[in-house]
Structure 1
């Protein structure tokens, strides 16, 4: 249990900017398994902020901007930076130069456009969703990180070094899928506690989550021949944004 606890703390330190006492021992090897749980925790924290701002009388759009700003703050922009670098790399016509461009610390026009699209979609969707958004935020953030775990397991890592390299070398599959599957089942089942009649829509939403998270990983692998830490971040960000947008559809109003 001590080993798993240190991994959990390591996941919080690596994937978030949440402060932990420096005296607490952490372990980074194998933390990918806890990504979806970190996402759920962050989603609940953001939902609490969302609820508080709504209670203070913030308009829907101001509330949405503030929550998305906190979203970036609590993740340190880690995944958003990866999505921006990935967009810059994919914009290069020569496939052999894509990884070189992605490694460049300078942000290009396509990276900026990707960030605007992702943040704009999240703000717009949050402004439409009900103010608390506990379930929606926890769901999309868990799904985004599940897509990352899948990409780590299924595709080669393209760089000898980098922030994401140790994920591939230290993770153990298929057992590392367990925690992520559990959290997805728990969060997907929540609407059933209100009424059982929503199960067809939930089943459809589950299929949509699989399609988006798996599809993005496969598409990026096809474009690059594998994955890097940047593409892991891109999967997280685009899965979150797409699913959050889909949750505004009337069919998914649970």
Structure 2
């Protein structure tokens, strides 16, 4: 990408990527010990230097994750939910966590995952921070990490928050598709066993069953497209 920018354009954003090949960090250790993939979904501050990190674990045995994570000093792990081929966990950590440390240095972690014993962190450095200083400080604190790549982007990635998700979903669905999807969900159409049939939802909406099927399938395709677009972007790294 050329560094020549038009007058008035915002400065570029630097994207940095680090790899970890040792199990000093829970998200790497868990991925190696139970041969799974561990992905960071969200980081939330809890006060007093503590953060809650929410990880999805795909593959392997979720029952082993808590004990493996808590084998690391200053990590408190909790299983939140299980689903087919995976589970969601909360790790309570301190600034000793690499992702948290990058955030403290001014970078914005976008992708954090461990896969079969190898960890990756991709973060964006806003223009007001000096990329070299962020990298040097991070590597000094985490000597087991290695700088894998440094790239230039035109803009920061917008966090895919719950509010942003709803806004994006609204922009993709028609008003009728959104109404059908919301009504079906509230009626128990997606519960197991199903609490309400498609015919019943159609009757509540005052439309025919074929029209209901058309709208609900179109809405589902758009919703799944949003989910898997984000998943593919995460798994490229």
TM-score by length of structure 2 reads 0.25
Q: Which has the higher strand share?
A: 2
Normalising by structure 1, report the TM-score.
0.23
Radius of gyration: which is bigger? Answer: 2
Looking at both structures, which has the greater relative contact order when contacts are Cα pairs under 8 Å and sequence separation is at least 6?
A: 1
Hey, which of these two has a bigger chunk of helix by percent? 1
